[in-house]
């Protein structure tokens, strides 16, 4: 008789298999085959699919035969002398698992009943053996694949006095044999439990005798163990990685981000979510979706820019992979110039703008392209009535580098030409855009990516003029993990915007007019994670602007237009920034930053000073000053604060507040009521001061029903200074003394934004409503510089009520219907207040600017979406979208104007889409 | 098959889009809101020695079309050599200098107006620009952008001193009208005859075959040479007349006046012009607003005053041409002259022939070649076909040269 004071028994329990397939019997012979080969044969014979790793098996050759045996039997016998276990699923798969911790023997001495006298134990061994080996365990609490182990510690004896003993256990990963931390160990049927430390060790007090414990960790199979404890002891457990048989795991990261984030006024667009939204002419448009969010709007369908929280179109910093896009639209703003297949992430900051960004008063549109797939070639394509679009993700070096390319082109031009209508064939429009991104994982800590982008538009309205504009950008980003705490990135980016106007009427005044702008920026940013509660971002940035404000040259041999080239404008904008995120406690968090910006307008250039006490005009020039190359003409700048705070007033309700101030040194010049692609950008110089703003915002954010609904209410108040406006009828192109046409005034904007979103379920979508005002004030001691008697008046894009409802209903997995409804107050217009005759011609007199409004805008769009079937083996995944834009056929006026027809004044209104526009688009994903 | 379907849909969608781009501009009834009565003071004092004119009117509500003159105002033009020229009202809103004078180079002029209710207005000081350079007008047959054949009247001028730069044009066009179916006699009904109506043929007493008409330009026509290497107006189209216009069917004359403007005056009229023109394209509408000229109110600085006081040199050129001088191989336009032969009597109280004659139809000839049952005895033609005075004046203008 041997005495074991402490023995650990690890008994593998085979798994219950009830599936019917195992009832079928098979007969087969094998000779001189490795296990691997045998399994391959078995796959064919039994029509089961086997899952295993080749290197689990040795190359020993086996021979043998089975007759009328179940698969289970066959496997049992084949694997009897290995450490491999198997599991047969109902859908005819055989999963083999390797388990090194199998003990097929029983100890010489053990007891299941402490009451039993020691002498009797031997006689019970056989009985127990039968009972225990193998143990079929049928327990609903346990996973199908859960392993049950029986552990015996110590032995029972009559003198046992203690009621409790301590089990010290170690939990390792089965695969790597490394200790697992944070694994929960629970005593079933009691509230006791423990968690492993970083060495994978836990300790648990158990009552004398039998207990059930459950060891569980996310991503690992659960172990249920039966412990018989009769003394303090140790045990070790190996957790296996979860097999594929689990249900699909839906990880809902960031569902409560809107409540938790410290930043106010942040709009995120889920690019994958927008594909069901009804389209106009088949173009999926990320920025159009943005305008359905609170606080973001457009002056009208044909306007080029966006208005964010009462800001002008030029006050948005639109970044594509961190490089600025000056005009993100095609075709007068009807379509966005961003290829929707290549964009991965859209964040729009309209309240508290992070300190790393600057230079525009109203917002930052941070658009990031997708990270191209490094393992699998894939792509997406669409065919619509206006454009075709293709994007491809191409792995270059597997797991290391890949390329994303996207191209889109409109084929409207040839159709336009083909149409047999003189009026139409005279006008033309075509556009394309192209994007490429290369992403390279240099090593674990370093990543390099390069993005290139080009967009081009050509259009003409009469037969003798041709307009074209282009965006070009290149962005280079090197990201490096310096150490555990510090991550740095270095960016070099360059953007250009240019346009040309060609006038070819076969006359002496034929010309070609050009404008181009380039900015190049170098930016260094470091993220320093001090601890879980405190994080710092800091860096430096420098940006150089180069602008050719306009040149005109003769076109054709007949032309006597003289060559005029306005002098190049240059400026340097540098900034240093630091911002910190600090979680004071679970409820209160701050995000505070400061950015110090300096702007210098540089020579070589001449600038004019004007007589004091007189309006700026060519007649009041005091002197003209000349500056040498790189000489600083004028510097502007100062500190910019970016502060925000969040406080949880209830578990899923937070309040946030923020303040920030901004500078802007580059402005668009437009004497139209809406922005257009041939608006020029002008740098602040000796006479044109930078625009400034201050914004205060406050918001309440809440999620309810398990984050199913997201709701927020935000308010803001914004003050602006030196906002640019122009004298009526100002000549802005090729004007060297632009300051004589420019007015700079004050602006203020305030609003309340409501947002409700349901992101899941059969019916999903969002409702946004904004009440806002945006006002301007242009006052001066000189009557010709005063607009509306120096009082505040509504800006051209002021639309107090703005409501959008975006909804989608899934009928089945494949069919869904979507509806958009948009309502907006009509934008302000200037109406005439009288007329008179000038030399026999009737002339209208306009008075106060923007005193009236065009009729309210509303529109309903519907779409129906059909997904291709979801078979995994299918080569490509298709998607049909049938949309009807403006279902109600509402003739929404875009502008109202007055013209002289046959000597008499007539009121006219124009609209862009006055009838329902149906479109079908076909998308393909492969 | 599928591809074809795409194309089809695409065409429809595009066609609709284009339809919209081209025709979604429509008129609507506009109700005049917030009418503000504003004063308009306009004057161009030229270098010609003559009685100069000043026009003062008021705005009217936009849906009403009449001229509202400002009467009984005191109008004075002053120069910086202490000369004053007083103006008197010769017709409502039109004031003429009591003495003749012409603007001189080097002098600065200003306009001063006081209305009958005591409001005072003044202009900024303006002066005459540059030396006078002649203008010549050339008629040229062209096919314009819209594919219409016509005659372009082109102005040409050259200032080698490079001083003029901004030009404004006004024209006065005159043309000969010939009644195509003119005959010697008039048919005159006498309804007072006892036995019904009798008709007499009399020889015409007035000239009705050849007339003349004169029309003034009513548009703002301007050009500039600022972007050109030399101050040369070359083939600037002052007026385009389509070939179908009866104006040029026979002989036509145009007197073009070329004014040299200041930059400010040019800009002012340019803005006025833009404010009533169709915007360049559907997508961008020019910012409308009050256009400030150089007239200001002395009594209330917040009052919007319309108008511009200019001094300008003026040159002119008159040309004449016949249709065939310009259009060698084209056929001249013709009046549509349908011939009718109304019945004398068609029922009680219904005398078609009398009705036609009293509405101006002209006698052409007797209907003697087998008249039909519903035809009367005389052939008549529409008024303008037999009498040119319907369209013009029979008097030959004194400048007219055949």
Q: What is the pLDDT of residues A335-346, one digit of tens each?
A: 888 898 899 889
Any residues with CB less than 8 A from the CB of B238 and at least 6 apart, and which? B137, B153, B154, B155, B169, B171, B221, B254, B256
- Closest residue by Cα to residue A405 from A435, A381, A383: A435
The percentage of residues in chain B with a pLDDT greater than 70, rounded to a whole number, is: 89
pLDDT tens figures, A702-761: 988 878 899 999 999 999 999 998 877 667 777 888 898 889 999 999 999 999 999 888
Q: How confident is the model at residue A114 (pLDDT cuts 50, 70, 90)?
A: very low
Considering only A762-766, B179-183, B344-348, B364-368, which range has the smallest mean pLDDT? B344-348
Q: pLDDT averaged over chain A? A: 81
Three-state SS string over chain B comes to: CHHHHHHHHHHHHHHHHHHHHHHCEEECCCCCCCCCCCEEEEEEEECCCECCEEEEEECECCCCCCCEECCCCEEEEEECCCCEEEEEEEECCEEEECCCECCCCCCEEEEEEECCCCCEEEECCEECCCCCCCEEEEEEEEECCCCCEEEEEEEEEECCCCCCCEEEEEEEEEEEEECCCCCCEEEEEECCCCCCCEEEEEECCCCCCEEEEEEECCCCEEEECCCECCCEEEEEEEEEEECCCHHHCCEEEEEEEEEECCHHHHHHHHHHHHCCCCCCECCECECCCCCCCCEEECCCCCCCEECCEEEECEEEEEEEEEHHHHCCCCCCCCCCCCCECCCCCCECCECHHHHHHHCCCEEEEECCCCCCCCCCCEEEECHHHHCHHHCCECCCCCCCCC
The per-residue pLDDT for A412 is 62
- Closest residue by Cα to residue A432 from A370, A474, A390: A390
**A:653-682 residues touching chain B, CB 8 A cutoff:** 670-676
Residue B300 exposed, middle or buried by CB count within 10 Å (0-12, 13-18, 19+): exposed
- Closest residue by Cα to residue B37 from B305, B307, B308, B309: B305
Q: How confident is the model at residue B165 (pLDDT cuts 50, 70, 90)?
A: confident
Considering only A51-55, A601-605, B230-234, which range has the smallest mean pLDDT? A51-55
Q: How far apart are CA A427 and CA A416, in angstroms?
A: 8
Q: Is the pLDDT of residue A527 over 90?
A: yes
Tell me if chain B has a CB within 8 Å of the CB of A480: no
Collect all residues of chain B within an 8 Å Cβ-Cβ radius of residue A383.
Answer: 6
Tell me if chain B has a CB within 8 Å of the CB of A789: yes
Collect all residues of chain A within an 8 Å Cβ-Cβ radius of residue B290.
Answer: 728, 845-847
Collect all residues of chain A within an 8 Å Cβ-Cβ radius of residue B279.
Answer: 895, 897
Tell me if chain A has a CB within 8 Å of the CB of B352: no
CB contact under 8 A, A385 and B20: no
Q: Is the pLDDT of residue A15 over 50?
A: no
Q: Is the pLDDT of residue A577 over 80?
A: yes
Q: How many CB pairs under 8 A join A and B?
A: 253
Shortest Cα distance, chain A CAs vs residue B265, angstroms: 13
Collect all residues of chain B within an 8 Å Cβ-Cβ radius of residue A796.
Answer: 287
Q: Is the pLDDT of residue A115 over 50?
A: no
Does the predicted model carry a pTM greater than 0.80?
Answer: no
Which whole number is the average pLDDT over B309-324?
A: 94
Collect all residues of chain B within an 8 Å Cβ-Cβ radius of residue A852.
Answer: 33
Tell me if chain A has a CB within 8 Å of the CB of B188: no
Q: Do A592 and A576 form a contact (C-beta atoms < 8 A)?
A: no
Q: Is the pLDDT of residue A229 over 60?
A: yes
Partner residue opposite A899 with nearest CB, options B270, B278, B304: B278
Q: Which two tokens stand for residue B42?
A: 């306009």
Q: Is the pLDDT of residue A315 over 80?
A: yes
Shortest Cα distance, chain B CAs vs residue A843, angstroms: 7
Partner residue opposite A302 with nearest CB, options B33, B59, B283: B283
Residue B84 exposed, middle or buried by CB count within 10 Å (0-12, 13-18, 19+): exposed
| pLDDT, greater one: A920 or A147 | A920
Q: How far apart are CA B40 and CA B308, in angstroms?
A: 9
Q: Is the pLDDT of residue B363 over 70?
A: yes
Q: Is the pLDDT of residue A98 over 70?
A: no
Using alpha carbons, list the distances in angstroms from residue A261 to A255, A656, A757: 11, 9, 17
Q: pLDDT averaged over chain B? A: 84
**A:840-869 residues touching chain B, CB 8 A cutoff:** 840-847, 849, 851-852
Cβ atoms < 10 Å from Cβ of B17? 23
Hey, which of A181-195, A588-602, B19-33, B192-206 has the most confident mean pLDDT?
A: A588-602
Cβ atoms < 10 Å from Cβ of A547? 22
Which whole number is the average pLDDT over A254-282?
A: 77
Which whole number is the average pLDDT over A19-34?
A: 71
pLDDT tens figures, B392-401: 998 999 999 9
Shortest Cα distance, chain B CAs vs residue A330, angstroms: 12
Partner residue opposite B28 with nearest CB, options A421, A894, A909: A909
CB contact under 8 A, A787 and B59: no
The percentage of residues in chain A with a pLDDT greater than 90, rounded to a whole number, is: 35
Tell me if chain A has a CB within 8 Å of the CB of B138: no
Q: Is the pLDDT of residue B306 over 80?
A: yes
Q: How confident is the model at residue A688 (pLDDT cuts 50, 70, 90)?
A: very high
- Report the alpha-carbon angle A93-A97-A99, nearest 5: 160
Considering only A127-131, A348-352, A748-752, B118-122, which range has the smallest mean pLDDT? A127-131
Tell me if chain A has a CB within 8 Å of the CB of B31: no
Q: Is the pLDDT of residue B374 over 50?
A: yes
Cβ atoms < 10 Å from Cβ of A198? 9
The per-residue pLDDT for A425 is 54
Which whole number is the average pLDDT over B134-140?
A: 93
The per-residue pLDDT for B349 is 72
CB contact under 8 A, B286 and A672: yes
Chain A residue with Cα closest to B270: A729
Q: How confident is the model at residue A360 (pLDDT cuts 50, 70, 90)?
A: very high
pLDDT tens figures, A828-867: 888 888 888 887 788 888 877 888 888 899 999 999 989 8
Q: How far apart are CA B211 and CA A859, in angstroms?
A: 59
Shortest Cα distance, chain A CAs vs residue B217, angstroms: 8
The per-residue pLDDT for A611 is 84
| pLDDT, greater one: A104 or A925 | A925
Helices A35-46 & A71-78, crossing angle to 10 degrees? 180
Collect all residues of chain B within an 8 Å Cβ-Cβ radius of residue A914.
Answer: 20, 24
Q: Is the pLDDT of residue A142 over 70?
A: no
CB contact under 8 A, B62 and A851: no
């Amino acid at each position: 008789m041997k005495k074991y004071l402490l023995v650990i028994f690890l008994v593998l329990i085979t798994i219950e298999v009830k599936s019917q397939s195992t009832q079928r019997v098979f007969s087969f012979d094998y000779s001189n085959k490795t296990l691997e080969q045998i399994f391959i044969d078995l796959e064919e014979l039994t029509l089961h699919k086997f899952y295993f790793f080749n290197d689990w098996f040795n190359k020993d050759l086996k021979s043998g035969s089975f007759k009328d045996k179940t698969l289970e039997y066959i496997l049992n016998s084949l694997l009897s002398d290995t450490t491999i276990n198997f599991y047969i699923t109902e859908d005819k798969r055989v999963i083999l698992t390797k388990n090194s911790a199998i003990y097929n023997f029983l100890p010489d001495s053990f007891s299941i009943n402490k009451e039993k006298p020691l002498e009797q134990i031997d006689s019970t061994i056989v009985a127990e053996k039968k009972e225990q080996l193998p143990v079929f365990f049928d327990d609903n609490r346990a996973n199908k694949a859960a392993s049950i182990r029986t552990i015996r510690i110590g032995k029972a004896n009559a003198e046992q006095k203690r009621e409790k003993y301590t089990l010290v256990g170690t939990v390792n990963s089965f695969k790597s044999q490394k200790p697992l931390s944070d694994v929960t160990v629970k005593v079933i049927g009691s509230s006791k439990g423990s968690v492993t430390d970083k060495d994978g060790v836990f300790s648990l007090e158990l009552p004398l005798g039998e207990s059930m414990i459950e060891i569980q960790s996310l991503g690992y199979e659960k172990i249920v163990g039966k412990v018989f404890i009769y003394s303090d002891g140790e045990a070790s457990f190996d957790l296996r990685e979860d097999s594929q048989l689990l249900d699909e795991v839906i990880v809902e990261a960031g569902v409560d981000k809107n409540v938790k984030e410290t930043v106010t006024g942040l709009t995120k667009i889920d690019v994958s979510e927008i594909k069901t939204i009804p389209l106009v002419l088949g173009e999926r448009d990320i920025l159009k979706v943005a305008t359905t969010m609170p606080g973001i709007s457009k002056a009208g369908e044909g306007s080029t820019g966006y208005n964010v929280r009462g800001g002008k179109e030029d006050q948005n910093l639109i970044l594509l992979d961190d490089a600025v896009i000056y005009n993100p639209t095609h075709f007068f703003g009807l379509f966005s110039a961003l290829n929707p297949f290549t964009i991965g992430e859209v964040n729009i900051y309209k309240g508290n703008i992070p300190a790393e960004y600057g230079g525009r008063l109203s917002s930052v549109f941070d658009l990031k392209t997708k990270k191209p797939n490094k393992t699998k070639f894939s792509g997406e394509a669409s065919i619509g009535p206006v454009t075709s679009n293709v994007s491809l993700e191409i792995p270059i070096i597997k797991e290391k580098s890949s390329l994303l390319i996207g191209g889109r082109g409109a084929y409207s031009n040839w159709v336009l030409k083909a149409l047999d209508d003189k009026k139409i064939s005279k006008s033309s429009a075509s556009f394309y855009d192209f994007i490429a991104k290369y992403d390279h994982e240099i090593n674990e800590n370093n990543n390099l990516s390069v993005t290139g982008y080009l967009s081009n538009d050509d259009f003409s309205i009469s037969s003798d003029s041709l307009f074209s504009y282009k965006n070009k950008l290149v962005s280079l980003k090197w990201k490096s993990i310096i150490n555990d705490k510090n991550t740095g990135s270095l960016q070099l980016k360059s953007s250009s915007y240019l346009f040309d106007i060609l006038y070819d009427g076969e006359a002496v005044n034929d010309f070609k007019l050009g404008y181009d702008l380039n900015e190049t920026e170098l930016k260094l940013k470091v993220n320093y994670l001090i601890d879980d509660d405190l994080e710092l971002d800091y860096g430096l940035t420098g940006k150089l602007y180069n602008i050719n404000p306009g040149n005109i040259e003769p076109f054709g041999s007949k032309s006597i237009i003289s060559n005029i080239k306005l002098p190049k404008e240059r400026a340097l904008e540098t900034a240093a920034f630091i911002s910190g995120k600090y979680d004071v406690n679970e409820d209160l968090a701050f995000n505070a930053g400061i950015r110090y910006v300096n702007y210098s307008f540089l020579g070589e250039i001449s600038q004019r000073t004007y007589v004091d006490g007189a309006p700026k005009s060519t007649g009041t020039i005091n002197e003209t000053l000349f500056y040498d190359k790189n000489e600083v003409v004028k510097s502007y700048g100062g500190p910019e604060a970016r502060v925000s705070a969040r406080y949880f007033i209830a578990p899923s309700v937070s309040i946030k507040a923020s303040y920030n101030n901004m500078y802007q040194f580059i402005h668009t010049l437009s004497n139209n009521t809406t922005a257009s692609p041939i608006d020029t950008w002008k740098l602040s110089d000796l006479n044109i001061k930078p625009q400034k703003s201050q914004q205060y915002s406050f918001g309440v954010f809440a999620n309810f029903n398990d984050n199913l609904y997201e709701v927020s209410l935000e308010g803001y108040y914004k003050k602006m200074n030196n906002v640019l406006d122009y004298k009526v009828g100002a000549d802005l192109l090729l004007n060297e003394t632009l300051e004589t046409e420019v007015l700079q005034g004050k602006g203020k904007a305030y609003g309340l934004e409501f947002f409700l979103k349901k992101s899941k379920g059969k019916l999903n979508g969002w409702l946004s409503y904004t009440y806002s005002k945006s006002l301007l004030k242009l006052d001066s001691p000189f009557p010709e510089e005063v607009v509306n008697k120096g009082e505040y008046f509504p800006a051209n894009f002021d639309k107090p009520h703005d409501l959008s409802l975006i909804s989608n209903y899934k009928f089945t997995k494949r069919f869904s219907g979507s509806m958009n409804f948009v309502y907006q107050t009509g934008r302000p217009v200037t109406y005439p207040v009288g007329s008179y005759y000038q030399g026999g011609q009737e002339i209208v007199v306009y008075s106060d600017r923007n005193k009236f409004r065009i009729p309210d805008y509303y529109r309903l769009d519907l779409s129906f979406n059909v997904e291709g079937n979801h078979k995994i083996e299918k080569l490509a995944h298709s998607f049909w979208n049938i949309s009807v834009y403006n279902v109600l056929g509402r003739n929404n006026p875009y502008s109202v104007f007055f013209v002289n027809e046959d000597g008499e004044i007539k009121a006219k209104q124009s609209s862009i889409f006055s009838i329902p526009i149906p479109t079908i688009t076909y998308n393909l994903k492969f | 098959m599928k591809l074809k379907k795409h194309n089809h849909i695409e065409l429809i969608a595009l066609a609709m889009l284009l339809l919209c781009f081209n025709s979604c501009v429509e008129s609507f009834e506009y109700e005049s809101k917030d009418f503000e009565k504003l004063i308009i003071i306009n004057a161009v004092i030229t270098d010609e020695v003559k009685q100069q004119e000043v026009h003062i009117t008021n705005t009217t509500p936009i849906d009403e079309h009449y001229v509202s003159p400002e009467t009984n105002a005191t109008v004075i033009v002053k120069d910086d050599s202490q000369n004053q020229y007083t103006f008197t009202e010769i017709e409502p809103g039109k004031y003429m200098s009591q003495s003749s004078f012409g603007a001189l180079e080097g002098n600065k002029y200003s306009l001063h107006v006081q209305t009958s209710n005591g409001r005072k207005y003044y202009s900024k000081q303006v002066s005459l620009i540059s030396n006078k350079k002649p203008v010549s007008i050339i008629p040229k047959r062209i096919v314009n952008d819209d594919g219409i054949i016509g005659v372009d009247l082109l102005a040409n001028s050259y200032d080698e001193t490079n001083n003029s730069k901004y030009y404004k044009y006004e024209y006065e066009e005159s043309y000969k009208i010939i009644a195509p179916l003119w005959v010697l006699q008039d048919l005159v009904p006498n309804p007072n005859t006892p036995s019904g109506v009798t008709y007499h043929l009399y020889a015409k007493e007035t000239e009705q075959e050849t007339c003349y008409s004169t029309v003034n330009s009513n548009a703002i026509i301007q050009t500039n040479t600022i972007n050109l290497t030399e101050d040369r107006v070359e083939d600037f189209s002052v007026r385009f007349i389509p070939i179908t216009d009866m104006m040029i069917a026979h002989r036509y004359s145009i007197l073009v006046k070329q004014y040299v403007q200041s930059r400010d005056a040019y800009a002012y009229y340019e803005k006025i012009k833009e404010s009533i023109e169709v915007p360049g394209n559907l997508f961008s509408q020019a910012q409308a607003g009050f256009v400030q000229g150089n007239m200001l109110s002395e009594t209330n600085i917040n009052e919007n005053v319309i108008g511009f006081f200019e001094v300008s040199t003026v040159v002119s050129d008159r040309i004449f041409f016949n249709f065939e001088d310009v259009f060698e191989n084209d056929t001249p336009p013709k009046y549509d002259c349908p011939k009718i032969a109304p019945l004398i009597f068609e029922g009680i109280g219904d005398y078609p022939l009398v009705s036609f004659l009293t509405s101006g139809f002209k006698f052409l000839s007797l209907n003697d070649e087998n008249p039909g049952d519903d035809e009367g005895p005389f052939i008549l033609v529409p008024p303008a076909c037999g009498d040119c005075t319907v369209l013009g004046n029979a008097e030959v203008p004194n400048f007219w040269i055949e």
